[in-house]
Amino acid sequence: MRKPYLIAGVPIAGLALASHCGSGAAAWTPPAPTSRVRHPHSHSHQSRASAQSSSALPSTSADIDIEALHLTPELEMMTNAFASIPDEKTRHKQLLHMASRLPEVDDAVRVPENKVPGCLSTVHVDCTAEQKGDDLVVNYVGDSDGLLTKGLLALLVRGLSGCTAEQINAVDPQFVQAAKISQTLTPGRNNGFLNMLAVMKKKAGEAAERGANGAGANGDAERATTEVNGDAAAAEAEGDIVTSFDEIEGKPMYNAILSTLITVLKPTAIQLTDNSAQHAGHAGSKGWEESGESHFALEIVAEAFEGLNLVKRHQLIYMLLGEVMPKIHALEISARSPSEAE
């Protein structure tokens, strides 16, 4: 039985080695990264679409110095891997495969301020910043209703997440040429790709600035926690504050979510429903692998949400659950203030 192609450690669905390696060869993997990627000269019958796309991105006919593109380590690895794929059709299929692996996002991400302008498809992307050692790194989430565009977004999300705003803003979009991905793109998608990268760079800078100034989600959390502690003291004396819950053995994600939110937000009402059994086909998250937990629905009422819009409320919860969110697949949130719950 032939083994599948591998690209960036991920098998390419539905493709075999027959045309390239013969029947007895091992699985194909990208060669070690090199400092330069050489592309063949453009043919005279180059299509009008390809000619137009060159106005947005550099020509593929010249040598591209990978080191000069200032890529993140993950993005450099994927650029070399895509460049090593022998044909355009396979690269296209790999982008679609990456689109299928992009994690689902909450509806709080699909808001106007996160929409990428100038894309043929609808694209939403957002990010958060977290301290990692001495660095403030950025992590992205996003979605698109177009499969190929979603594949490009998945490439950027994977390639840029976990890096500093400085590293992200240094990335040269010419890497899409070095990876030979531009051969798959129409002029409209070329522009959409450039817009996606530009928005992600802008959001990285904003997230880093908020983190440095103690604003944004972290600032909202600190302010909300300080305010709610004062308001909660009287309510707790009257027995209105939820102070405990019944832990469930073998459900670490469930227990961690409730423990964190009850301790920090001091809710007047909270209910967490584990819907993982309804989404068994979405396995792959760490929570699912560890304990069969992947999908949750949260209903919470707390003073901390007073004066915060929907997006800020969700961001506050995501920030508080920073260690849990990467391990689960989805968290549906209904967050209200006590006045809204009356």
Task: List active site positions.
Answer: 119
Contact 71, 88 (CB under 8 A): no
Residues 13, 11: Cα–Cα separation, whole Å: 6
The angle subtended at Cα 265 by Cα 264 and Cα 271, nearest 5°, is 115
Helix 73-84 to helix 147-160 angle (10° resolution) is: 140
Q: Minimal CA–CA distance to 37: which of 21, 58, 6, 16?
A: 58
H-assigned helices in the chain: 18-21, 48-53, 73-84, 88-101, 147-160, 165-169, 175-178, 187-213, 216-237, 252-265, 286-291, 310-320, 338-341
154, 99 in Cβ contact below 8 A? Answer: yes
DSSP 321: T
Task: Give the distance from CA 19 to its chain's centroid.
Answer: 34
How many H-runs (helices) and E-runs (strands) does the chain carry? 13, 10
